[in-house]
């Protein structure tokens, strides 16, 4: 069985990072606004900005923070599913329909199984009651692919993603993994 790095964050730790970062961004914005209102020196990137300009800069930063941490959440979830895949296929535990389907994929592709087409599809087939959660995760991964490839095309998605939307999708989709998470070593 492969040795895992133990550097994969949890979705909960990413949520804490998000909250601290958003609070810090708001505090920094307030600090810059106070300096400017008292005609004290501000960092170069804020010199000459109006209040609306300052608000626009911080709104852009918040969107970028949101985007980066959505990417981190989705990358973490993929790692969790891949570790689960590895454990199920190589340790053959637990003995259930999900493991049986994943082992069939493993016999053909080893650790090179495609995340969406193989790993998630096998879970959806084995556990039809999770189809909605897996469908939401699959759609969120199209957003991740758009982020990963530099946001260079106009995405074809009806749903808008923000951090808490992606967090809830990840939380729901990974809930069935919880019993195995402690066995990753």
Using the predicted structure, report yes or no on whether residue 1 has a pLDDT greater than 80: no
pLDDT in tens, 46-83: 999 999 999 999 999 999 999 999 999 999 999 999 99
Nearest to 82 by CA among 179, 174, 169: 174
Look-up: residue for tokens 């808490």?
A: 164
Looking at every residue in the chain, the average pLDDT score rounds to 90
Domain ranges of the chain: 11-181
Q: What is the 3-state secondary structure (H, E, C) of 21-85?
A: HHHHHHHHHHHHHHHHHCCCCCCHHHCCCCHHHHHHHHHHHHHHHHHHHHHHHHHHHHHHHHHHH
pLDDT in tens, 146-173: 999 998 888 887 688 999 999 999 999 9
Question: What is the predicted pLDDT for the residue at 176?
Answer: 85
Question: What is the predicted pLDDT for the residue at 178?
Answer: 55
């Amino acid at each position: 069985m492969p040795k895992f790095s133990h550097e994969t964050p949890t979705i909960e730790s990413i949520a804490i990072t998000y909250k601290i970062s958003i609070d810090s961004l708001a505090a920094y914005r307030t600090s810059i606004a106070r300096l400017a209102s008292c005609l004290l020196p501000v960092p170069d990137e804020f010199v000459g900005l109006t209040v609306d300009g300052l608000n626009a800069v911080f709104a852009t930063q918040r969107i970028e923070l949101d985007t980066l941490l959505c990417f981190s959440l989705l990358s973490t979830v993929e790692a969790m599913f891949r570790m689960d895949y590895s454990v199920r296929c190589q340790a053959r535990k637990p003995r259930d329909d999900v493991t049986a389907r994943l082992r069939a994929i493993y016999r053909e592709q080893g650790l090179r199984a495609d995340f969406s087409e193989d790993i998630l599809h096998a879970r959806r087939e084995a556990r039809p009651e999770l189809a909605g959660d897996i469908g939401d995760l699959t759609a969120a991964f199209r957003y991740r692919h758009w982020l990963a490839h530099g946001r260079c095309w106009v995405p074809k998605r009806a749903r808008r993603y923000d951090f808490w939307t992606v967090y809830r999708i990840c939380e729901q989709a990974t809930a069935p993994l919880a019993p195995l998470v402690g066995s990753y070593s």
